[in-house]
A and B are shown apart, each in its own frame.
Chain A
Protein backbone atom coordinates (compact mmCIF):
# COMPACT_ATOMS: atom_id res chain seq x y z
CA UNK A 1 0.00 0.00 0.00
CA UNK A 2 2.71 2.52 0.92
CA UNK A 3 4.63 1.90 -2.31
CA UNK A 4 1.44 2.52 -4.29
CA UNK A 5 0.92 5.79 -2.43
CA UNK A 6 4.50 6.75 -3.19
CA UNK A 7 4.04 6.09 -6.90
CA UNK A 8 1.04 8.42 -6.94
CA UNK A 9 3.25 11.04 -5.30
CA UNK A 10 5.86 10.44 -8.00
CA UNK A 11 3.38 10.98 -10.80
CA UNK A 12 2.07 14.13 -9.20
CA UNK A 13 5.59 15.54 -8.81
CA UNK A 14 6.52 14.62 -12.37
CA UNK A 15 3.70 16.80 -13.62
CA UNK A 16 4.17 19.75 -11.31
CA UNK A 17 7.93 20.16 -10.83
CA UNK A 18 9.62 22.60 -13.14
CA UNK A 19 13.38 23.06 -13.15
CA UNK A 20 14.73 26.56 -13.49
CA UNK A 21 17.61 25.90 -15.88
CA UNK A 22 18.63 29.54 -15.94
CA UNK A 23 19.37 29.52 -12.21
CA UNK A 24 21.15 26.17 -12.34
CA UNK A 25 23.42 27.42 -15.12
CA UNK A 26 24.12 30.57 -13.15
CA UNK A 27 25.50 28.53 -10.26
CA UNK A 28 28.89 28.47 -11.93
CA UNK A 29 29.27 32.22 -11.71
CA UNK A 30 27.35 32.99 -8.53
CA UNK A 31 28.84 32.71 -5.11
CA UNK A 32 26.44 30.40 -3.36
CA UNK A 33 26.91 29.62 0.29
CA UNK A 34 26.31 26.10 1.47
CA UNK A 35 25.81 24.41 4.79
CA UNK A 36 28.80 22.07 4.47
CA UNK A 37 31.13 25.03 4.07
CA UNK A 38 29.74 26.98 7.03
CA UNK A 39 31.51 24.62 9.47
CA UNK A 40 34.73 24.92 7.45
CA UNK A 41 34.41 28.70 7.57
CA UNK A 42 34.13 28.65 11.36
CA UNK A 43 37.21 26.45 11.61
CA UNK A 44 39.21 28.78 9.35
CA UNK A 45 38.10 31.72 11.49
CA UNK A 46 39.12 29.78 14.61
CA UNK A 47 42.58 29.11 13.12
CA UNK A 48 42.99 32.78 12.16
CA UNK A 49 41.96 34.16 15.55
CA UNK A 50 43.94 31.41 17.34
CA UNK A 51 47.13 32.19 15.42
CA UNK A 52 46.80 35.93 16.10
CA UNK A 53 46.21 35.32 19.81
CA UNK A 54 49.11 32.85 20.04
CA UNK A 55 51.44 35.28 18.27
CA UNK A 56 50.34 37.98 20.70
CA UNK A 57 51.04 35.66 23.66
CA UNK A 58 54.42 34.74 22.16
CA UNK A 59 55.24 38.41 21.83
CA UNK A 60 54.37 38.91 25.52
CA UNK A 61 56.54 35.98 26.58
CA UNK A 62 59.57 37.14 24.56
CA UNK A 63 59.27 40.63 26.02
CA UNK A 64 58.94 39.49 29.60
CA UNK A 65 61.63 36.91 30.02
CA UNK A 66 62.90 38.90 33.00
CA UNK A 67 59.70 37.91 34.88
CA UNK A 68 59.87 34.14 34.95
CA UNK A 69 56.40 33.72 36.55
CA UNK A 70 54.68 35.77 33.85
CA UNK A 71 56.71 34.15 31.05
CA UNK A 72 55.96 30.60 32.23
CA UNK A 73 52.23 31.24 32.82
CA UNK A 74 51.67 32.98 29.50
CA UNK A 75 53.96 30.50 27.73
CA UNK A 76 51.82 27.61 28.98
CA UNK A 77 48.61 29.42 28.01
CA UNK A 78 50.15 29.90 24.55
CA UNK A 79 50.81 26.14 24.37
CA UNK A 80 47.14 25.41 25.03
CA UNK A 81 46.20 27.81 22.25
CA UNK A 82 48.71 26.22 19.88
CA UNK A 83 47.01 22.89 20.64
CA UNK A 84 43.60 24.39 19.78
CA UNK A 85 44.90 25.88 16.52
CA UNK A 86 46.49 22.52 15.61
CA UNK A 87 43.19 20.75 16.35
CA UNK A 88 41.28 23.18 14.12
CA UNK A 89 43.84 22.70 11.32
CA UNK A 90 43.44 18.94 11.75
CA UNK A 91 39.65 19.37 11.43
CA UNK A 92 40.13 21.28 8.18
CA UNK A 93 42.40 18.53 6.84
CA UNK A 94 39.81 15.91 7.85
CA UNK A 95 37.05 17.92 6.16
CA UNK A 96 39.10 17.98 2.96
CA UNK A 97 39.23 14.19 2.99
CA UNK A 98 35.48 13.78 3.43
CA UNK A 99 33.61 13.05 0.23
CA UNK A 100 29.96 13.98 0.04
CA UNK A 101 29.58 11.11 -2.43
CA UNK A 102 30.66 8.45 0.10
CA UNK A 103 28.08 6.30 1.84
CA UNK A 104 25.71 8.12 4.19
CA UNK A 105 26.89 6.49 7.42
CA UNK A 106 30.56 6.94 6.48
CA UNK A 107 30.24 10.64 5.59
CA UNK A 108 27.92 11.53 8.45
CA UNK A 109 30.10 9.62 10.93
CA UNK A 110 33.17 11.58 9.84
CA UNK A 111 31.33 14.92 10.00
CA UNK A 112 29.88 14.13 13.43
CA UNK A 113 33.29 12.93 14.68
CA UNK A 114 34.92 16.23 13.71
CA UNK A 115 32.21 18.23 15.45
CA UNK A 116 32.36 16.00 18.52
CA UNK A 117 36.12 16.44 18.78
CA UNK A 118 35.49 20.14 19.44
CA UNK A 119 34.36 18.97 22.88
CA UNK A 120 37.84 17.55 23.52
CA UNK A 121 39.40 20.85 22.41
CA UNK A 122 37.13 22.72 24.84
CA UNK A 123 37.96 20.34 27.69
CA UNK A 124 41.71 20.74 27.14
CA UNK A 125 41.34 24.52 26.92
CA UNK A 126 39.71 24.49 30.37
CA UNK A 127 42.98 23.11 31.78
CA UNK A 128 44.70 26.44 31.13
CA UNK A 129 42.50 28.17 33.75
CA UNK A 130 44.98 27.94 36.71
CA UNK A 131 47.67 29.72 34.68
CA UNK A 132 45.41 32.75 34.34
CA UNK A 133 45.67 32.98 38.16
CA UNK A 134 49.47 33.01 38.20
CA UNK A 135 50.58 35.24 35.31
CA UNK A 136 50.66 38.36 37.49
CA UNK A 137 53.14 36.93 40.01
CA UNK A 138 56.58 38.48 40.15
CA UNK A 139 59.78 38.09 42.14
CA UNK A 140 58.86 40.91 44.51
CA UNK A 141 55.55 39.21 45.41
CA UNK A 142 57.29 35.90 45.89
CA UNK A 143 59.88 37.44 48.20
CA UNK A 144 57.64 39.80 50.17
CA UNK A 145 54.06 38.62 49.67
CA UNK A 146 53.71 37.22 53.15
CA UNK A 147 52.14 34.05 54.46
CA UNK A 148 48.50 35.20 54.36
CA UNK A 149 48.82 36.49 50.81
CA UNK A 150 50.35 33.25 49.59
CA UNK A 151 47.95 31.09 51.56
CA UNK A 152 45.01 32.82 49.85
CA UNK A 153 46.62 32.83 46.41
CA UNK A 154 47.74 29.24 46.46
CA UNK A 155 44.28 28.20 47.70
CA UNK A 156 42.69 30.01 44.75
CA UNK A 157 45.14 28.39 42.30
CA UNK A 158 44.55 24.99 43.89
CA UNK A 159 40.77 25.44 43.65
CA UNK A 160 40.97 26.41 39.98
CA UNK A 161 43.30 23.48 39.30
CA UNK A 162 40.91 21.03 40.98
CA UNK A 163 37.91 22.61 39.24
CA UNK A 164 39.52 22.52 35.80
CA UNK A 165 40.62 18.90 36.25
CA UNK A 166 37.14 18.00 37.47
CA UNK A 167 35.51 19.70 34.48
CA UNK A 168 38.01 18.06 32.11
CA UNK A 169 36.95 14.66 33.41
CA UNK A 170 33.25 15.40 33.75
CA UNK A 171 32.42 17.11 30.46
CA UNK A 172 32.37 13.95 28.37
CA UNK A 173 29.64 12.31 26.34
CA UNK A 174 29.23 9.52 28.89
CA UNK A 175 28.13 12.14 31.42
CA UNK A 176 25.83 14.04 29.07
CA UNK A 177 22.79 12.52 30.80
CA UNK A 178 23.67 14.66 33.84
CA UNK A 179 21.61 17.81 33.70
CA UNK A 180 24.42 20.16 34.77
CA UNK A 181 26.92 18.71 32.27
CA UNK A 182 24.42 19.20 29.45
CA UNK A 183 23.57 22.75 30.59
CA UNK A 184 27.26 23.61 30.99
CA UNK A 185 28.20 22.43 27.49
CA UNK A 186 25.11 24.08 26.00
CA UNK A 187 25.76 27.38 27.74
CA UNK A 188 29.18 27.53 26.05
CA UNK A 189 27.67 27.10 22.60
CA UNK A 190 28.02 23.34 22.60
CA UNK A 191 24.46 22.46 21.59
CA UNK A 192 25.61 21.40 18.14
CA UNK A 193 28.48 19.43 19.68
CA UNK A 194 26.06 17.49 21.90
CA UNK A 195 23.86 16.80 18.89
CA UNK A 196 26.91 15.63 16.94
CA UNK A 197 27.97 13.32 19.78
CA UNK A 198 24.47 11.89 20.02
CA UNK A 199 24.33 11.42 16.26
CA UNK A 200 27.73 9.73 16.28
CA UNK A 201 26.47 7.25 18.88
CA UNK A 202 23.30 6.75 16.85
CA UNK A 203 25.30 5.98 13.69
CA UNK A 204 27.49 3.49 15.56
CA UNK A 205 24.41 1.72 16.86
CA UNK A 206 22.74 1.94 13.46
CA UNK A 207 25.64 0.19 11.80
CA UNK A 208 25.79 -2.61 14.33
CA UNK A 209 22.13 -3.35 15.02
CA UNK A 210 20.48 -5.52 12.46
Chain B
Protein backbone atom coordinates (compact mmCIF):
# COMPACT_ATOMS: atom_id res chain seq x y z
CA UNK B 1 0.00 0.00 0.00
CA UNK B 2 1.43 3.39 -0.98
CA UNK B 3 1.82 6.22 1.53
CA UNK B 4 -1.05 8.07 -0.10
CA UNK B 5 -3.32 5.03 0.13
CA UNK B 6 -2.22 4.53 3.71
CA UNK B 7 -3.23 8.09 4.58
CA UNK B 8 -6.60 7.65 2.86
CA UNK B 9 -7.14 4.43 4.76
CA UNK B 10 -6.28 6.01 8.09
CA UNK B 11 -8.64 8.92 7.46
CA UNK B 12 -11.43 6.45 6.61
CA UNK B 13 -10.80 4.64 9.87
CA UNK B 14 -10.72 7.94 11.74
CA UNK B 15 -14.05 8.98 10.25
CA UNK B 16 -15.62 5.62 11.00
CA UNK B 17 -14.00 4.70 14.29
CA UNK B 18 -17.34 5.05 16.07
CA UNK B 19 -19.04 2.34 14.05
CA UNK B 20 -16.06 0.01 14.42
CA UNK B 21 -16.28 0.40 18.17
CA UNK B 22 -20.06 0.01 18.16
CA UNK B 23 -19.84 -3.22 16.17
CA UNK B 24 -17.15 -4.54 18.54
CA UNK B 25 -19.28 -3.51 21.50
CA UNK B 26 -22.32 -5.29 20.07
CA UNK B 27 -20.57 -8.57 19.34
CA UNK B 28 -18.25 -8.89 22.36
CA UNK B 29 -18.91 -8.50 26.07
CA UNK B 30 -15.41 -8.64 27.50
CA UNK B 31 -13.30 -5.48 27.17
CA UNK B 32 -10.23 -7.37 25.92
CA UNK B 33 -12.36 -9.25 23.37
CA UNK B 34 -13.71 -5.92 22.15
CA UNK B 35 -10.16 -4.64 21.66
CA UNK B 36 -9.29 -7.82 19.77
CA UNK B 37 -12.32 -7.43 17.54
CA UNK B 38 -11.50 -3.78 16.81
CA UNK B 39 -8.01 -4.94 15.84
CA UNK B 40 -9.40 -7.66 13.62
CA UNK B 41 -11.93 -5.40 11.88
CA UNK B 42 -9.22 -2.83 11.10
CA UNK B 43 -6.90 -5.60 9.91
CA UNK B 44 -9.53 -7.02 7.55
CA UNK B 45 -10.41 -3.53 6.29
CA UNK B 46 -6.71 -2.93 5.68
CA UNK B 47 -6.41 -6.19 3.73
CA UNK B 48 -9.57 -5.62 1.74
CA UNK B 49 -8.86 -1.93 1.02
CA UNK B 50 -6.72 -2.46 -2.12
CA UNK B 51 -9.62 -4.43 -3.67
CA UNK B 52 -12.20 -1.74 -2.96
CA UNK B 53 -13.69 -0.34 -6.16
CA UNK B 54 -16.19 2.41 -6.83
CA UNK B 55 -18.99 0.02 -7.69
CA UNK B 56 -20.26 0.22 -4.13
CA UNK B 57 -20.28 3.09 -1.69
CA UNK B 58 -17.35 3.25 0.67
CA UNK B 59 -19.66 3.05 3.69
CA UNK B 60 -21.43 -0.03 2.23
CA UNK B 61 -18.06 -1.73 1.72
CA UNK B 62 -16.91 -0.80 5.22
CA UNK B 63 -20.06 -1.99 6.96
CA UNK B 64 -19.97 -5.26 5.02
CA UNK B 65 -16.39 -6.01 6.06
CA UNK B 66 -16.84 -4.86 9.66
CA UNK B 67 -20.11 -6.74 10.20
CA UNK B 68 -18.83 -9.89 8.49
CA UNK B 69 -15.81 -9.87 10.79
CA UNK B 70 -18.00 -9.10 13.80
CA UNK B 71 -20.47 -11.91 13.11
CA UNK B 72 -17.71 -14.43 12.23
CA UNK B 73 -15.81 -13.56 15.37
CA UNK B 74 -18.96 -13.78 17.50
CA UNK B 75 -19.65 -17.26 16.16
CA UNK B 76 -16.21 -18.53 17.02
CA UNK B 77 -15.06 -19.61 20.42
CA UNK B 78 -12.47 -17.36 21.95
CA UNK B 79 -8.92 -18.62 21.89
CA UNK B 80 -6.65 -17.08 24.49
CA UNK B 81 -3.60 -16.89 22.25
CA UNK B 82 -5.37 -15.03 19.45
CA UNK B 83 -4.09 -11.70 20.69
CA UNK B 84 -0.82 -10.86 19.05
CA UNK B 85 -0.65 -7.13 19.68
CA UNK B 86 -0.08 -6.61 23.42
CA UNK B 87 -3.20 -5.37 25.18
CA UNK B 88 -1.34 -2.45 26.71
CA UNK B 89 -1.01 -1.08 23.19
CA UNK B 90 -4.28 -1.38 21.33
CA UNK B 91 -5.48 0.16 18.10
CA UNK B 92 -8.30 2.05 19.70
CA UNK B 93 -8.39 3.45 23.22
CA UNK B 94 -11.61 4.39 24.94
CA UNK B 95 -11.62 6.58 27.97
CA UNK B 96 -13.66 5.74 31.05
CA UNK B 97 -16.53 7.99 29.98
CA UNK B 98 -17.34 5.58 27.14
CA UNK B 99 -19.09 3.32 29.60
CA UNK B 100 -22.37 4.70 30.80
CA UNK B 101 -23.93 3.78 34.09
CA UNK B 102 -26.16 0.72 33.86
CA UNK B 103 -29.21 2.77 34.85
CA UNK B 104 -29.24 4.86 31.70
CA UNK B 105 -31.58 4.27 28.79
CA UNK B 106 -28.61 4.04 26.46
CA UNK B 107 -27.16 1.20 28.44
CA UNK B 108 -30.50 -0.59 28.22
CA UNK B 109 -30.64 -0.01 24.47
CA UNK B 110 -27.16 -1.49 24.09
CA UNK B 111 -28.17 -4.44 26.23
CA UNK B 112 -31.33 -5.06 24.19
CA UNK B 113 -29.39 -4.85 20.93
CA UNK B 114 -26.79 -7.26 22.24
CA UNK B 115 -29.57 -9.72 23.04
CA UNK B 116 -30.71 -9.83 19.40
CA UNK B 117 -29.58 -12.58 17.03
CA UNK B 118 -26.47 -11.75 14.98
CA UNK B 119 -28.26 -10.77 11.78
CA UNK B 120 -30.95 -8.77 13.58
CA UNK B 121 -28.20 -7.05 15.54
CA UNK B 122 -26.40 -6.10 12.32
CA UNK B 123 -29.64 -4.80 10.85
CA UNK B 124 -30.43 -2.72 13.93
CA UNK B 125 -26.92 -1.23 14.04
CA UNK B 126 -27.34 -0.12 10.43
CA UNK B 127 -30.81 1.26 11.11
CA UNK B 128 -29.55 3.25 14.10
CA UNK B 129 -26.66 4.55 11.99
CA UNK B 130 -29.38 6.07 9.79
CA UNK B 131 -28.53 3.99 6.76
CA UNK B 132 -31.25 3.99 4.09
CA UNK B 133 -33.36 0.89 3.52
CA UNK B 134 -31.63 0.47 0.17
CA UNK B 135 -28.14 0.55 1.68
CA UNK B 136 -29.11 -1.80 4.54
CA UNK B 137 -30.50 -4.20 1.93
CA UNK B 138 -27.23 -3.99 -0.03
CA UNK B 139 -25.07 -4.55 3.03
CA UNK B 140 -27.08 -7.47 4.33
CA UNK B 141 -27.98 -8.99 0.97
CA UNK B 142 -31.74 -8.78 1.52
CA UNK B 143 -34.61 -7.17 -0.34
CA UNK B 144 -35.70 -3.69 0.73
CA UNK B 145 -39.15 -5.01 1.63
CA UNK B 146 -37.57 -7.66 3.83
CA UNK B 147 -35.44 -5.02 5.54
CA UNK B 148 -38.52 -2.84 6.19
CA UNK B 149 -40.48 -5.74 7.71
CA UNK B 150 -37.58 -6.84 9.87
CA UNK B 151 -36.75 -3.32 11.05
CA UNK B 152 -40.37 -2.77 12.12
CA UNK B 153 -40.44 -6.10 13.92
CA UNK B 154 -37.22 -5.41 15.84
CA UNK B 155 -38.25 -1.84 16.67
CA UNK B 156 -41.50 -3.20 18.07
CA UNK B 157 -39.57 -5.73 20.15
CA UNK B 158 -37.31 -3.00 21.54
CA UNK B 159 -40.27 -0.74 22.31
CA UNK B 160 -41.96 -3.54 24.21
CA UNK B 161 -38.80 -4.19 26.19
CA UNK B 162 -38.48 -0.51 27.07
CA UNK B 163 -42.12 -0.24 28.06
CA UNK B 164 -41.80 -3.31 30.30
CA UNK B 165 -38.82 -1.74 32.04
CA UNK B 166 -40.49 1.65 32.36
CA UNK B 167 -43.83 0.22 33.53
Contact = CB atoms under 8 A, between A and B. Distances in A.
A17 B89 contact: no
Interface string A9-32: 110111111111111110110111
Contact of A16 (B72, B90, B98, B106): B98
Nearest to B66: A100
Given A2-B155, A102-B64, A202-B119, A14 B18 contact: yes
Contacts of A96: none
A188 interface: no
B93 A105 contact: no
A210 B143 contact: yes
A93 interface: no
B141 A111 contact: no
B79 interface: yes
Interface residues of A, number: 53
Contacts of A186: none
A13 B43 contact: no
Contacts of A108: 68, 71-72, 119
Contacts of B145: 210
A100 B48 contact: yes
Most buried by B among A24, A31, A209: A24
A14 B16 CA distance: 10
B163 to A, nearest CB: 11
A104 interface: yes
Interface stretch (A33-41, A119-127, A158-166, A173-181): A33-41
B72 A104 contact: no
Contacts of A14: 18
A10 B128 CA distance: 10
A107 interface: yes
Contact of B65 (A10, A18, A22, A100): A100
A46 to B, nearest CB: 17
Interface string B17-57: 11001100000000000000001101110101001100000
A5 B43 contact: no
Interface residues of B, number: 68
B139 A103 contact: yes
A27 B40 CA distance: 10
B45 to A, nearest CB: 9
Contact of A35 (B10, B69, B118): B69
A210 B149 contact: yes
Contacts of B44: 34, 36, 100
Nearest to A13: B18
A15 B141 contact: no
Nearest to A112: B75
Nearest to A34: B40
Nearest to B67: A104
Nearest to A108: B71
A23 B91 contact: yes
Interface of A: 1-3, 5-6, 8-10, 12-25, 27-28, 30-36, 38, 99-108, 111, 192, 195-196, 199, 202-203, 206-207, 209-210
17 contacts: A2-B109, A3-B128, A5-B106, A13-B18, A19-B17, A25-B10, A33-B82, A33-B84, A38-B76, A100-B64, A101-B61, A101-B64, A104-B67, A104-B122, A107-B64, A199-B75, A199-B118
Closest 8 CB pairs of A and B: A103-B141, A105-B141, A210-B146, A6-B128, A16-B95, A13-B18, A18-B93, A106-B141
